[in-house]
Amino acid sequence: MALLAHYGWAELGQRIPIRCFTQDPSIASSLKFLRKTPWAREKVEGLYLFMQRETRRSAKL
């Protein structure tokens, strides 16, 4: 949810080009896909950690 709120579906689809983000996206379809697909889950987790680091950096400035 945090990634969706921060980036939106279009940006998520550009950063991680998987169908559950680019074609008729929904939270339910994305979670279903990510639970079954370890490589995609790793990419999303990496993006989440990147977002957290960037948020902390900008808060310190």
Eight-class DSSP state of 61: -
Q: What is the pLDDT of residue 60?
A: 82
- Residue 22 backbone class (left: φ over 0; alpha: ψ -120 to 50; beta: rest): alpha
Q: Which domains does the chain have, with CATH numbers?
A: 2-60 (1.10.720.30)
User: With 90 as the cut, is the pLDDT of residue 35 above it?
Assistant: yes
* 44 neighbors 3 (Cβ within 8 angstroms): yes
Confidence of residue 1 (pLDDT cuts 50, 70, 90): confident
What number is the average pLDDT over the span 16-33?
Answer: 95
**Residue 58 is which amino acid?**
S
- Residue 25 backbone class (left: φ over 0; alpha: ψ -120 to 50; beta: rest): beta
User: With 80 as the cut, is the pLDDT of residue 61 above it?
Assistant: no
CA distance 39 to 19: 14
Q: What is the pLDDT of residue 16?
A: 96
Confidence of residue 30 (pLDDT cuts 50, 70, 90): very high
